[in-house]
Structure 1
């Protein structure tokens, strides 16, 4: 993770944030219930994660930059759909279809295709493996942590993220996110593009995703990958560092 993946970290000495983390660690270690309360400073799964992420998206007015391995949670996809309908420009970095687990292929691809149909730009990271879980809203607020946008993360795992608006931290996030975007490639989510991406997969992509080879026939073989260079945008950290 330190050399071949895109990841972010946030270092904080804020007493209330550190105390929450210590309380959670102690509770988990002793197999006790942990509840940070409604005024929690941090974003916790499986506690307030989905609500906090949804509210973060709802508050965006102009742009959202997302870096995540998975876009599978129906509630979050619906919130992103709403964002596009109110004019928010979505810049989404995702991993190619062949990297998704077989059982998660349908929900992973359908969410991205829905967003793309509504005008979101869906790209894949160039030069690094995407492992980050980062959201940047309007270039002013960010959420950084371990939360995949998937039901498993929100409902079944201990995950942690932090929402930051510190100007210096957000600038670092913004700079990295824009740099990543400027060197990214468009992700071909057409039937032909998905068939090409999944041609070496054990999954019958045409059957599972109801894809056509362009001749009206379902086929595992097909098309070219229409990746091309896209526009540009940024990354960073909080007393948090971008990796």
Structure 2
């Protein structure tokens, strides 16, 4: 892992920590607050942004304008924030979707999260957020924000422990998987990339004990069902242990390596996440962060049931044992 990741990190876990944990971060801002978000649908978050604006903080917000399916979840928040005098713009047109979920406060710390700032993700889903106080990491999140704000090309430094899309994150994720020597715990809803699938299977072939917590069909779009189900079936065939999480909706994106290092962030294991979209993840080897991630994964694993993904080409089997469909919960 990169040296800066081992210092100055804390972990948020949803829904355990709730909206109040993010509100507490926003309430610390005294000079500047930078927010880049895929989705805002939370009165508590919006009111916290308003309070920051009213106490003289320079608040700048970038919101993703629409999902890949065309839904415009952020129109109301965009209009409301601008109506309050908070500078809110749409994310860069260089990316069909900006899926990044980041927050920077006073150049002091940054939050890199898997969760959207929406009430559903504070109450119903398993999600994570790493708060980093490492100056090089915070500076790079700011640099990425400024580049997208000003519609400029951004070339990240891949050595500080951040995981950027597009262009770079597939290789960064592959490197993490390749580093596993004993155990590989994966908590991801979506498996739509042959390169990462191959890396996971190769880890299993070299003797790594691999556990995969998936969410089954729930939240997976029709066009991603084929790859996700097929990938889960192939992994199981090679001895990967697969369980389906159902006590909470699975939205987290987590890879735990040998119980000592982790990668989490906005990107799904998905070709478009690697190649097309703006995404941001973060690596960690901070002991307190890893300990809580391990404990949460183990608790979720204990609650989950063994899962054999159905034949992707037989839709009559796809709904068996699934959570009720939720049109507002889709892994974009």
Q: TM-score, normalised by structure 1?
A: 0.78
What do residues 72-118 of structure 1 show as CA deviations (whole Å, max 9, x unaligned)?
A: 11100010010110011111111213542111121111111100001
The 1-side partners of 2:294 and 2:150 are apart by 39
Q: CA deviation at 1:38?
A: 4.3
Q: CA deviation at 1:126?
A: 2.9
61, 66, 71: which is aligned to 2:186? 66
Moved more, 41-50 or 148-157: 41-50
Give the secondary structure class of the aligned counterpart of 1:97: coil
Q: Are residues 1:154 and 2:253 paired?
A: no
Moved more, 94-103 or 107-116: 94-103
Q: CA deviation at 1:5?
A: 0.2
Q: CA deviation at 1:172?
A: 0.9
Matches within 5 A, 1:13-52: 13-52=133-172
| Matching residue of 2:228 | 108
Q: Are residues 1:120 and 2:203 paired?
A: no
| Matching residue of 1:206 | none
User: What stretches of structure 1 move > 4 A for 4+ residues in a row?
Assistant: 220-227
Q: Alpha carbons of 1:51 and 1:224: their partners in 2 closer, same or farther (altered >3 Å)?
A: closer
The 2-side partners of 1:45 and 1:81 are apart by 23
| Matching residue of 1:80 | 200
* Conserved? CA contact 1:135–1:142, under 8 Å: yes
122, 134, 142: which is aligned to 2:262? 142
Give the secondary structure class of the aligned counterpart of 1:80: helix
The 2-side partners of 1:84 and 1:121 are apart by 10
Q: Are residues 1:10 and 2:144 paired?
A: no
Q: TM-score, normalised by structure 2?
A: 0.58
The 2-side partners of 1:44 and 1:162 are apart by 9
> Please, what is the CA RMSD of the aligned residues?
2.0
| Matching residue of 1:92 | 212
Q: CA deviation at 1:144?
A: 1.3
Unaligned runs of 5+ in 2: 1-120, 323-332
The 1-side partners of 2:187 and 2:318 are apart by 27
Unaligned runs of 5+ in 1: 192-208, 212-219, 228-243
Structure with greater proportional strand content: 2
| Matching residue of 1:188 | 308
Moved more, 157-166 or 98-107: 98-107
The 1-side partners of 2:130 and 2:318 are apart by 42
* Conserved? CA contact 1:66–1:136, under 8 Å: yes
